[in-house]
A = this chain, B = another copy of it.
Amino acid sequence: MQPLTPDRLAIHTMTTKPWSLAQACEAYASAGIAGVSPWVEHVEPVGTREAARIIASCGLRVPAYVRGGFFVHPGDAEREAAIDRSRRLIDDAHALGAEMLVIVPGARAGIPLGSAREAVADALAKLAPHAQQAGVKLALEPLHPMYAADRSCVNTLASARDLCARVAHPSLGIALDVYHVWWEPDLERTIAAIGRAGRLFAFHICDFKAAPAHPLLDRGLMGEGVIPISEIRHAVEAAGFEGLAEVEIFSERSWATDQTEFLARIIAAARAAS
């Protein structure tokens, strides 16, 4: 495998949360990073049109717009509103030149996981034709089971694969984030099956620290934790993935540091971990 040099990387803007979209894009481009995956939180303050101009002027590729979904709600009207929001985000993703929209499924106390999973399948079936028309892929991201109470009812790569196979639309596939699935039994085989089905859309990297200070906001830099990133990357590339590896790190500790230095550490960590 080639080392993960900056020309093989994209960075999620939430990784450098303190920066505006313009600051992030300029810094990434100056460092030779190939792509940016903007978050809604960084696009909305400037608007989609200006965001598209900023990104294009920096010459960055856009693997993903992040993030739609959150389809699990008690009422029909709320569920429809969530689908409508994702429909608008698909249009925004198209305007940004993004290859895909990341979908976080959603979950909610009081709604059984079985019903929640039905709601997600239903929403994705409704959105996929619109995504196809817009030329934007939908990347369902299974989230770690520790988020099954409030963020995601799809908690393994294997169950995400099953859900995609059920909806069976060519615009629907999967975003694999090592943080969420590194522990999964039969990981390599599941990755290969997703690749064979042409549904491996994204590969997100970071690390899982053995004793995280916070379940959400203490992700590690590649190499700071226990995830066999190189091994998983090998499986992902063997499964046919040819896109950029996307760095996605939420870390209150890192956000509190100088972001230019943090970016340099990301680049060094990506190279070392691969």
| Inter-subunit contact B145/A109 (CB<8 Å) | no
Would you list which residues of chain A between 105 and 161 have a CB under 8 Å from chain B?
109-110, 112-113, 144-146, 148-150, 155-156, 158-159
| A185–B209 touching, CB < 8 Å | no
Give how many A residues have a beta carbon under 8 Å from the other chain's beta carbons.
29
Q: Does any Cβ of B come within 8 Å of A210's Cβ? A: yes
* Identical chains bound together, number: 2
**In contact, B228 and A112 (Cβ under 8 angstroms):** yes
On chain B, the residues within 8 Å of A113 by CB distance are 183
Instruction: Mark out the residues of chain A between 73 and 112 whose CB falls within 8 Å of any chain B CB in the assembled complex.
Output: 109-110, 112
Question: Which of B112, B149, B211, B231 contacts A210, CB < 8 Å?
Answer: B149
- Asked if A183 contacts B215 (CB within 8 A), the reply is no
Q: Indicate whether A208 reaches chain B with its CB closer than 8 angstroms.
A: yes
Closest-CB distance, A155 to chain B (whole angstroms): 5
Query: Is B149 a contact partner of A208 (Cβ separation < 8 A)?
Result: yes
A212 within 8 Å of B (CB atoms)? yes
| Residue in A146, A209, A231 with the greatest tally of chain B CB atoms within 10 Å | A146
**Which of chain A's residues 198-230 have a Cβ closer than 8 Å to chain B?**
208-212, 215, 225-226, 228
0/1 per residue, A247-269, Cβ < 8 Å to B?
Answer: 00000000000000000000000
Q: Which residues of B contact A211 (CB under 8 A)?
A: 149-150
Interface residues of A, Cβ cutoff 8 Å to B? 109-110, 112-113, 144-146, 148-150, 155-156, 158-159, 162, 182-185, 208-212, 215, 225-226, 228, 231
A-B contact list, 12 entries, CB within 8 Å? A109-B210, A112-B228, A113-B183, A148-B226, A149-B209, A149-B210, A149-B211, A150-B210, A155-B185, A156-B185, A158-B185, A159-B185
10 more CB-based (< 8 A) A-B contacts, given A109-B210, A112-B231, A149-B211: A110-B226, A112-B228, A113-B183, A144-B145, A145-B145, A150-B211, A155-B185, A156-B185, A158-B185, A215-B215
